[in-house]
Amino acid sequence: MPLLAQTQSLRPMTLDDLDLVLKIESQWAPEAWRREHFIEEMNRPYAHCFVMTDDETDAEVFGYIVFWAQAEGLSILNVAVDQHFRNMGIGTRLVQHVIRHAVHEDYPRIVLEVRESNAEAIALYKKCGFKKTHERRQFYQNGETALVLEVKTSEHQAGVQ
């Protein structure tokens, strides 16, 4: 397993990041986003796309997150961590970034859909305070059910800096 750089930073995703983002996307997503999809999201005024990179060179992408900001709250659309850097807290930091953004910008909640078979992601979201609200049967192209998870930002007000 490669060593994680001493320090990492979260910054907005750029077109230059897309080759590395797509490499990560292809590791995990049965219905992977294409380059065009990421470009569309980067151009939407209500979409936010971030990458976690190394501070030393800013050339390595460890993970990314894409979310929408809408009046009713934030929606996490896509989050992934490079398979070589899993279980190092990167996914938690990405999700916590969205939670901090929601609290600071006074969004009442954050929602997301996750495959019911994705136990690792579900555990991450629950660790970050998300709770299941309902299911969407046959949500994914392969017929798999999506769990809809939500966190109310009022539950995170005190712990956010």
45, part of any domain: yes
Polymer length of the chain:
161
3, part of any domain: no
Neighbouring-strand partners of residue 49: 66
Question: Given its phi and psi angles, is residue 94 left (phi above 0), alpha (psi -120 to 50 degrees) or beta?
Answer: alpha
Per-residue buried b or exposed e for 69-82, using 16+ beta carbons within 10 Å of the residue's own CB: beeebbbbbbbbbb
Residue 77's CATH number? 3.40.630.30
- What mean pLDDT do residues 29-42 have? 91
Identify whether the C-beta of residue 113 lies closer than 8 Å to the C-beta of residue 148.
yes
- What mean pLDDT do residues 81-100 have? 94
State percent of the chain over pLDDT 70: 92
160, part of any domain: no
As for how many domains the chain has, the answer is 1
- The structure's pTM equals 0.90
The reported pLDDT for the residue numbered 144 is 84
2, part of any domain: no
139, part of any domain: yes
103, part of any domain: yes
Q: Is the pLDDT of residue 1 over 50?
A: no
Q: 109 lies in which domain range?
A: 8-155
Q: Is the pLDDT of residue 29 over 50?
A: yes
Q: Is the pLDDT of residue 157 over 70?
A: no
1, part of any domain: no
Calculate the dihedral angle through the C-alpha atoms of 32, 55, 7, 100, rounding to the nearest 10 degrees. -60
pLDDT tier for residue 19 given thresholds of 50, 70 and 90: very high
- The C-alpha atoms of residue 120 and residue 18 are separated, in whole angstroms, by 24
98, part of any domain: yes
